[in-house]
Structure 1
């Protein structure tokens, strides 16, 4: 049960942080380009890369805090960071085809699923 509490609290903070930062950046830069989303994705990738390295190579933290920070906070802040983390792990394991496939499939199938959902919604 503890894991779920840590996950939920991290998720709430990550979601609120994404909303606040994205909105702040968009308010300052305008809406012609999605600068807010880009900022969130880049910062999320930096944070999850930093945390992954610190927790694997520098010091140990409890699994609950790892869930809170990486899965909860970073996962809610941006799922793009999770995609990058998982792809990075594939690259570390020299699984280049899987790494490329993960990125390509995620974007292509994700976009196709988005379009399919849009088309179905238009038909309703």
Structure 2
């Protein structure tokens, strides 16, 4: 039960922060969801750092990893919103905007996880 509560708390905090960032940044860019894009990239970098540090140094306990990686990062990042916004761009914008958002999110997200893991090796 404790593990469920930790994921719940982390997920709630991550979701609120994601909502706040997207609410602030998304309205300023009509053809690109910058808030969601940044949240997903930052979340990828953060999960790479957290898990890399945990693997290397055994720094975080299982409960801390559940709170931060599963809970916070899981709540902070969002695949469903990414998919919905991609659909909106495809329907209402140009193929170029859709392609940059979609391919950029995936490629830069994977690079951010890799960067986080790489940085964790240096710490």
TM (norm. structure 1) is: 0.59
Map 1:14-33 → 2, pairs under 5 A: 14-27=14-27, 29-33=28-32
Q: What is the number of residues matched between the two proteins?
A: 83
1:66-91 superposed Cα distances (whole Å, 9 cap, x missing partner) = 100000000111145xx95xx97xxx
Instruction: Quote the offset at 1:30 in angstroms.
Output: 2.4
Root-mean-square deviation (CA, aligned residues, Å) is 2.1
User: Which has more radius of gyration?
Assistant: 1
1:14-70 superposed Cα distances (whole Å, 9 cap, x missing partner) = 10011011112224x323211111111111111111111111113422211110000
Q: 2:21 & 2:58 partners in 1: Cα distance?
A: 29
Q: Which moved more, 1:63-72 or 1:53-62?
A: 53-62
Structure 1 unaligned spans of 5+:
89-124
Structure 2 unaligned spans of 5+:
80-108, 115-123
Q: 1:12 & 1:41 partners in 2: Cα distance?
A: 16
